[in-house]
Amino acid sequence: MSLTDAVRRLGWCLVLTLGSLPVRAAEPLPGTTALTRTGDLAAEMVAGIDRYLTAETARVAQTRETLWKPNFTSPEAYRQSIAANRASLAKIIGITDPRLPASLEYVGGPDSPMLQAESPELQVFAVRWRVLPGIDAEGLLLEPRGKVLAQVVVIPDALQSPEMLAGLTAELPPERQWALRLAEYGCRVLVPTIINRDSRYSGNERMNRRTNISHREFIYRMAYEMGQHLIGYEVQKVLAAVDWFSRKPDSPPIAVIGHGDGGMLALFSGALDERIRTTMVSGYFGPRNGLFAEPIDRNVWNLLREFGDAAVARLILPRGLVVLPLPGPKVAGPPAVGPGVGNAAAPGTLSDVVDLPAIRAEFAQVESWGGDAAKLFKAKLRLAMADDSVKSLLIDQFNLPMIKRPPIPPITIAANRIDSESRMKRQFDQLVAYTQHRWRNSEVQRGQFWAKANPASVENWKQSTEWYRNYFWDEVMGKLPPPSAPLQPQSRQVYDTPKWVGYEVTLNLYPDVFASGYLLLPKDLKPGEKRPVVVCQHGLEGRPSDVCDPTKSTPYYHSFGAQLANLGYIVFAPQNPYIGRDAFRVLQRKANPLKLSLFSFIIRQHETILDWLATQPMVDANRIAFYGLSYGGKTAMRVPAILPRYCLSICSGDFNEWIGKNVSTEFRSTYMYTYEYEMPEFDLGATFNYAEMAYLIAPKPFMVERGHDDGVGIDEMVAWEYAKIRYLYANRLKIPRRTAIEFFVGGHEIHSRGTFDFLREHLQYPTR
């Protein structure tokens, strides 16, 4: 935003001359009105962003049609017109790699035969089939003894096992043993194992780390950071089964059927693979406005801007779709915490209450898609009754014959069946190992992504990295529209010290969304003098007072904002919205499906702060620096990378091999074992580690402040990541003095030695 735009937003035009301070305590800052709000402004900020996101979720449900350009002139024209939407869905659920050629193997051994059960009509085998390098699907194959009429992938919910659906246990009523019922009719059925919601393996025994994070969330966390997803992994397993079904010409027709989490996987699989003739979804279909409250393993970046369940179903047309309005799984929350088990899981629940009006309304959007033109497709769309049998629905979808059979004798079950718990661990371990491998090879992937950046000169670097800056904002952080509300700056005095006076300031961005912070102004400012500003950013659960309190050396921060003001700098200490534990973390949950993040708001707040600071007559707008600790260090990596008006950035108490910190299961400081479930940022691992974020700050000065005993990381990983930045500044751009790292004896805190020298050198202040 230009200065002209900023002034227009102010709604007033003035020339201020503050001259010498202090100002009487009762007076607001010149050019502002009195700030009279009471209560907790930080909590109000978080609540306002929450309201914005709730409204935006409802709004995008009404506007997602603009992202679709369907052509209903023929089925083929329709397929081509939605190809981009199909590709978009595949990307956001992490389907990026080609599957291995179709291959299925029987699984057995001396203690567990491959034949798990049989009857005169069918046999049940333990099987596995190849999916991706290092990843197999495992489950059951139900093979009819007679002619195969259809081929079906039956996908369990995360609370179900393949054995339940195959009738090898009595945990489901006979009519819900779908795999067995279909095989008895004459269908070849594959039932994959789905990662469950236990937490037995969500930790690291060697490190004595155990958590209550569900297996699904555990894999989600590491995969999401790498641009992958548990949903994508499991859809790939379903589609690998379809590959095997399709290996011969003129194969029987293929269907996918799933319940609960399996219903979600069936819906996505049917949307992505046109070889699937019919998709049946049970216990899942409906509006997704409450996605943020579901288990976090269902969180999908950018899903709701383009897709709801009805929109995903449009990708199935003109093929068949059946929705069964059965109760979904009930999930009361994460697994329980026990002795030695840390509470690190994200909240999230699922209800088993069937909201039939909501299901009907969502299904009606599929039926009405395209109006009369789409009716030419003659797609078999059906909202079934709760008591309809899956077998009869499949017969109707495929126009199969109704076969009257004599009473079928009970299935005979092998005495030594496969150990389902060992199978679950194998499936879990494979997905963990695959994702860890992606992280360890991500340096090459990021190098390929950054291949167009040109370090031949400083000017070449600036020009060639502009595309990456835009990508980082648009595709990784998520970009909000420009602020729309009048700025209406308000202030009140909060500090008066011998050397400076402090004001609390608020600035509006959108309805319900504002920025706030403390502005510290030296009292020795001369009329017409312009000084540099240091924006001093607090960390997790922090407040501007942690940075600015002149009465004490605050823990971790040592009141570094007040120290800088004592040296004569103008200081602004923003309130960032990462405060309130789950109150702010739910913002990330609400934001991600809208292609937004918590930093989408932080970036716009800082942009507005910069706009306003630039209008202040005592501020040198070309010398506004950023210095943040902890979560403020995260801000130091992201915000100055996007907002080049920050003339330098200092990251304290956070710099890391950031992707490893989020993904690694072996690193002692990893977020894989902590409560910070909002940390994963989709596809960051393939695009921007901390070195690459600093590349966007270059050629402006950049510094790291690192305490040897700071538990956020280890010196070796910090030095590894920083070395790439040093190489760029010193060896390629030939500007070695513009970057520095200070290791000091201490912990997670502001050290204020080398960093203050760095500010003095690059802000050229104080001159005395």
Q: Tell me: pLDDT of 24 over 70.
A: no
Distance, CA of 437 to CA of 435 (rounded, Å): 5
- The residues pairing with 383 across neighbouring beta strands, listed in sequence order, are 323
Q: Tell me: pLDDT of 193 over 70.
A: yes
Q: What is the CA radius of gyration of the chain?
A: 29
User: pLDDT tens for residues 31-51?
Assistant: 999 999 999 999 999 999 999
Q: Comparing C-alpha atoms, which of 678, 490, 593, 583 is closest to residue 47?
A: 583
User: pLDDT tens for residues 197-227?
Assistant: 999 999 999 999 999 999 999 999 999 999 9
Q: Tell me: pLDDT of 731 over 50.
A: yes
Token pair of 486, please?
A: 């009048």
What mean pLDDT is predicted for residues 155-171?
Answer: 97
**pLDDT band at residue 374 using 50, 70 and 90 as cut-offs:** low
Q: How many CB atoms lie within 10 A of CB 666?
A: 11
Q: Comparing C-alpha atoms, which of 440, 460, 443 is closest to residue 699?
A: 460
User: pLDDT tens for residues 44-82?
Assistant: 999 999 999 999 999 999 999 999 999 999 989 999 999
Question: Can you list the alpha helix ranges (DSSP code H) found in 196-299?
Answer: 215-225, 230-245, 261-272
Mean of pLDDT over the chain: 95
Report CA-CA distances (Å) from 671 to 162, 443, 666: 32, 20, 11
Asked if 725 contacts 733 with a C-beta cutoff of 8 angstroms, the reply is no
What mean pLDDT is predicted for residues 120-137?
Answer: 98
**pLDDT band at residue 759 using 50, 70 and 90 as cut-offs:** very high
Say what percent of the chain tops pLDDT 90. 90
Token pair of 233, please?
A: 């992994």
pLDDT reported for residue 9: 42
Domains in the chain, ordered, with CATH?
A: 3-11+38-58+461-762 (3.40.50.1820), 113-418 (3.40.50.1820)
Q: Comparing C-alpha atoms, which of 614, 656, 617 is closest to residue 633?
A: 656
pLDDT reported for residue 768: 58
Name the one residue in this structure whose structure tokens are 């997905």. 431
pLDDT reported for residue 409: 77
User: pLDDT tens for residues 615-661?
Assistant: 999 999 999 999 999 999 999 999 999 999 999 999 999 999 999 99
Report CA-CA distances (Å) from 286 to 276, 352, 733: 21, 13, 54
**pLDDT band at residue 757 using 50, 70 and 90 as cut-offs:** very high
User: pLDDT tens for residues 265-305?
Assistant: 999 999 999 999 999 999 999 999 999 999 999 999 999 99
**pLDDT band at residue 379 using 50, 70 and 90 as cut-offs:** confident
pTM across the whole model: 0.94
Q: Specify the DSSP element, H or E, that contains 45.
A: helix 41-63
User: pLDDT tens for residues 3-21?
Assistant: 334 433 433 333 333 333 3
pLDDT reported for residue 415: 84
pLDDT reported for residue 604: 99
Mean pLDDT check: name the lowest of 9-23, 100-114, 274-288, 321-335: 9-23
Report CA-CA distances (Å) from 468 to 596, 698, 751: 18, 12, 32
pLDDT reported for residue 370: 80
Q: Comparing C-alpha atoms, which of 383, 253, 387 is closest to residue 309?
A: 383
pLDDT reported for residue 19: 33
Q: Tell me: pLDDT of 565 over 50.
A: yes
Written as one string, the DSSP assignment of 269-335 is HHHH-TTEEEEEEES--S--TTGGGS-GGG--TTHHHH--HHHHHHTTTTSEEEEE------B-SSP
